[in-house]
A and B are shown apart, each in its own frame.
Chain A
Amino acid sequence: EAGVAQSPRYKIIEKRQSVAFWCNPISGHATLYWYQQILGQGPKLLIQFQNNGVVDDSQLPKDRFSAERLKGVDSTLKIQPAKLEDSAVYLCASSRVAGAYEQYFGPGTRLTVT
């Protein structure tokens, strides 16, 4: 089966600019996650969707980050405006079942904010 797809793979922007990341999960996976991974740290969950509904967005900086999963398939994560501390790898993952179960990760998008 095809894996989780993400684009772009790399993005460089200046602070205060906006950026969007796209994720296509594995077919049939109802749960979709966006994680932020800062260099040298473990991934941090930003938002979790179950189909097209939000399950957990408690760690999403909502003043600048937004995410949507229209039609319960693809998802987009947006940052507007970006700050220097947003430089990180943004990982998308999907799973059949929600929770600390087997998740499949995409390759990530490496964002550099200058």
Chain B
Amino acid sequence: LAKTTQPISMDSYEGQEVNITCSHNNIATNDYITWYQQFPSQGPRFIIQGYKTKVTNEVASLFIPADRKSSTLSLPRVSLSDTAVYYCLVGEGWTDKLIFGTGTRLQVFP
């Protein structure tokens, strides 16, 4: 299976903007890109999804370039409660199997 890669960890301070990128070189043509947040001992929680260009909701933005081989989750003005692991989820090309990214552990400091 193709690998969907993310930076292992990122540090930030409260109030800053954080951008987390996911590389998915072999993404299914017709599938969305979805991002999740996971706290310890909990299941992942949906944040945002998109197909192309830019999507924004009340908590985040998602940027997807035209070739769709990567995506960037943007968290504006993070707080301590945003400390968590963030995953992207894509459908793999050829097989359309669902693959989670390797995960990015975000640590927010006061």
By a beta-carbon cutoff of 8 Å, the part of chain A in contact with chain B is: 4, 33, 35, 41-45, 48, 56, 58-59, 91, 93, 99-108, 110
Q: Which of A4, A91, A93, A99: most chain B Cβ within 10 A? A: A99
The bracket for how many chain B residues form the interface is 20 to 34
Main secondary structure of the interface of A (DSSP, over half): loop
19 contacts between A and B (CB under 8 A): A4-B43, A35-B100, A42-B102, A44-B100, A45-B97, A45-B100, A56-B98, A91-B44, A99-B98, A100-B33, A100-B34, A102-B46, A103-B89, A105-B36, A106-B43, A107-B43, A108-B42, A108-B43, A110-B41
Of B28, B98, B103, the most chain A CB neighbours within 10 A belong to B98
Q: Tell whether, in the assembled complex, residue B45 and residue A105 are in contact, meaning their CB atoms are under 8 Å apart.
A: yes
Residues of B with C-beta under 8 A to A35: 100
CB-based A-B contact count at 8 angstroms: 67
B 85-100 binary contact with A (CB < 8 Å = 1; else 0): 0010111000111111
> Are B100 and A43 touching (Cβ within 8 A)?
yes
